[in-house]
Structure 1
Amino acid sequence: MGKKCGQQSINFSQPPVITSGANIVGPEEGEGPLASGFDWILDDPLFGEKSWEMAECKMLEESAKLALQKIALQTQDVDFFLAGDLLNQIISSNYAARGLEIPFFGLYGACSTFVEALLLGSILIDGGFAQRVLLSSSSHHLSAERQFRHPVEQGVQRLATAQWTTTASGALVLEMQGEGPRVNRGTVGKVVDMGVSDVHNMGAAMAPAAADTILTHFQDTETNSDSYDLIVTGDLGSVGQAALVDLLKQRGLDLEEKLQDCGLLIYDTGKQDMHAGGSGCGCAAAVFTGLLLQKLREKQYQNLLLVATGALMSPIISQQGESIPAIAHAVAVTG
């Protein structure tokens, strides 16, 4: 039996093991409900650096190092490093890779990057191309605002549909053997564009891609909502999650009771003014390496489907009036 199943999915014959995870978050994230699951909460979003961009580079690199340190590994023990971020030319990942000196694949899938890396790392291990893979992704609120919207110094009022880019990074170690949750299967997303062009409403742009990937995953892998204890998206926020629920109901699938979203989990939206919730490459990375990985290890979740979404927009092309293409990748993880 082949490893490819259906049109877009993969069954791993030797499911890779998640042996370690680590994360670093900013001050706002540390004030949220998931604080106990974060390894390092920064007091200063500059992280001792001279710019927000260099602070993000440092976050990504340090979270990757921390994931290795937790299981007493050195960088030379790793076959490949897979990483991505939101900034132009994925500079956070490139500069982190410079410091780590591990053979490197740079990835860009916007907020879906963490699961894209998890999928590709699993393929490398299950395919026999690697024994051990390190993966990481990051985002920084202040660097992302400067690139995609408005420098925060301008004090531009954010719309109610806008999401707050998390200041966070997360890293995982995947191995062929060991103890920990396993990546059993995954679904590679397709780019979906329903014509949404509002860069302040990424949830609406990404929800159709999430719906497409979830439905495809169930069809390809012959699973259904009962196969999973929890289905977690990242990061649709309140607007996107409501749209996803509606889109799935139109296809005869009611997941409202089983769905959660990393962008809504990471903040206390009742007390913290994050509008529609969190977003960014670091959001799903920090939530998974913190709360969700802990619950998988403790067997509170036996089977979890993580579906990370990404708005594949460019500031330049968006200013030219182009719509926002989106993608969603999924991995099924067993505790």
Structure 2
Amino acid sequence: MKSKRIGQRTVKLQNKPKIISSASVVGPKEGEGPLRDYFDLVLSDDLFGEKSWELAESKMVQTAMETAVKKAGKKLSDVNYLIGGDLINQILPASFAARELAIPFLGIYGACSTMAEGMCLNAMMIDGGFADYILSGTSSHYCTAERQFRFPLELGNQKPMTAQWTVTGAGSILMAAEGNGPYVKYVTIGKVIDKGIDDGNNMGAAMAPAAIDTIYSYFDDTKDDPNSFDMIVTGDLGKLGKQITQDLLKERGLDISKVYTDCGLKIFNLEEQDVHCGGSGCGCSATVFSAYIYDKLMKKEFNKVMLVSTGALLSPTSTLQKQTIPCVAHAVVIVNE
């Protein structure tokens, strides 16, 4: 069988897995940002009618997934597999959503890289002929992430300026073997990279080396031209991590500065919303892609995009054991016909 691999790390999809719909749900703060008109649902409160933030997050991702299926004119019973995950212990929000949706479920954990990780798996399964429709998505919630990874909100701890604001949001896409929409042309699976950073309030610097490794590997494998893209967008490196990524890639001879941005800078207005270095969380790249970027692709305002979701693979246990922060980034290249 002819290999679909290009170079060392990249896979070229031959059967054009189509992204036929997307949906997004965000919290009130995100709804006040520059992308507010692109979201399907902006919540009036962070609890979404539930009794805990974790259950609210689960309801958000379930709503986004149901909405994506509905927008495609399909039923949940049409979907062959559901792929999802999030930041919370044992991927509670995604698992509880899968309980309600009753679709065969593959739970994944890539921290904030989960959106692109799910899209990589979707595309390869569709391309391989293993499914006709695959639904995937992820979520994060400011309050659930702060409670698990940092400090209880009640303490009112001050954040250093390198910190980012975890996005309260969920995004989902429905991928299909046939249909209308942009398709996945390439995927590049990331390696786990750890440069020794142990500051959980400096995620941009921790994750940037993983983004650099994956982006450089894609271009080394494919010999593609960075300026052929309408947008190369990382997941949630924020202001500091974006600058590190751009500068260090340029040192390696790869200049992406004309087309490069970060989802953590797109979803909030940094000057007006007091989010320090920008947005973060699984919901950051998930909502920016499924709302803003997908809309631009469908309108043919974008014809070629690389999404590189970035994830910090720390946990409360690893932090208590004084471990550094291993990180990963996965890349998906989406094009129009």
How does the TM-score come out when normalised to structure 1? 0.99
2:273 is paired with a residue whose SS is coil
The residue aligned with 1:235 is 236
> Following TM superposition, where does structure 1 have runs of at least 4 consecutive aligned residues deviating by more than 4 angstroms?
none
Greater CA drift, 201-210 or 247-256: 247-256
> What letter corresponds to residue 91 of structure 2 in structure 1?
I
| Alignment gaps of 5+ in structure 2 | none
The residue aligned with 2:3 is 2
1:253 is paired with a residue whose SS is coil
The residue aligned with 1:34 is 35
> What letter corresponds to residue 264 of structure 2 in structure 1?
G
Query: Is 1:153 paired with 2:148?
Result: no
The residue aligned with 1:132 is 133
Greater CA drift, 119-128 or 318-327: 318-327
Q: Distance in 1 between matches of 2:203 and 2:16?
A: 33
1:271 is paired with a residue whose SS is helix
Q: Distance in 2 between matches of 1:323 and 1:11?
A: 34
Shift of 1:246: 1.6
> What letter corresponds to residue 117 of structure 2 in structure 1?
E
Query: Is 1:215 paired with 2:213?
Result: no
> What letter corresponds to residue 18 of structure 2 in structure 1?
V
Q: Distance in 1 between matches of 2:283 and 2:130?
A: 27
1:46 is paired with a residue whose SS is coil
> What letter corresponds to residue 303 of structure 1 in structure 2?
K
The residue aligned with 1:180 is 181
Q: Distance in 1 between matches of 2:303 and 2:45?
A: 37
Whether the 8 Å CA contact 2:227–2:258 is kept in 1: the answer is no
Query: Is 1:18 paired with 2:14?
Result: no
Q: Deviations over 1:53-85 (max 9, x none)?
A: 000010011110010111221111000000010
Q: Distance in 2 between matches of 1:241 and 1:31?
A: 23
1:49-68 aligned within 5 A: 49-68=50-69
The residue aligned with 1:104 is 105
Q: Distance in 2 between matches of 1:20 and 1:78?
A: 13
Shift of 1:298: 1.0
2:271 is paired with a residue whose SS is coil
> What letter corresponds to residue 18 of structure 1 in structure 2?
I
1:269-308 aligned within 5 A: 269-308=270-309
Q: Distance in 2 between matches of 1:95 and 1:182?
A: 29
1:270 is paired with a residue whose SS is helix
| Alignment gaps of 5+ in structure 1 | none
> What letter corresponds to residue 74 of structure 1 in structure 2?
K
Shift of 1:227: 2.8
Whether the 8 Å CA contact 2:137–2:173 is kept in 1: the answer is yes
Whether the 8 Å CA contact 2:227–2:259 is kept in 1: the answer is no
Greater CA drift, 123-132 or 215-224: 215-224
The residue aligned with 1:264 is 265
The residue aligned with 1:326 is 327
Shift of 1:95: 0.2
Q: Distance in 2 between matches of 1:135 and 1:185?
A: 18
Query: Is 1:247 paired with 2:231?
Result: no
> What letter corresponds to residue 161 of structure 1 in structure 2?
T
Shift of 1:257: 2.1
Shift of 1:131: 0.5
1:160-199 aligned within 5 A: 160-199=161-200
Q: Distance in 1 between matches of 2:232 and 2:140?
A: 23
1:327 is paired with a residue whose SS is strand
Query: Is 1:118 paired with 2:119?
Result: yes
> What letter corresponds to residue 199 of structure 2 in structure 1?
D
> What letter corresponds to residue 226 of structure 1 in structure 2?
N
Greater CA drift, 251-260 or 127-136: 251-260
Shift of 1:222: 2.2
Whether the 8 Å CA contact 2:12–2:185 is kept in 1: the answer is yes
C-alpha RMSD of matched pairs (Å): 0.8
The residue aligned with 1:206 is 207
Q: Distance in 2 between matches of 1:316 and 1:21?
A: 34
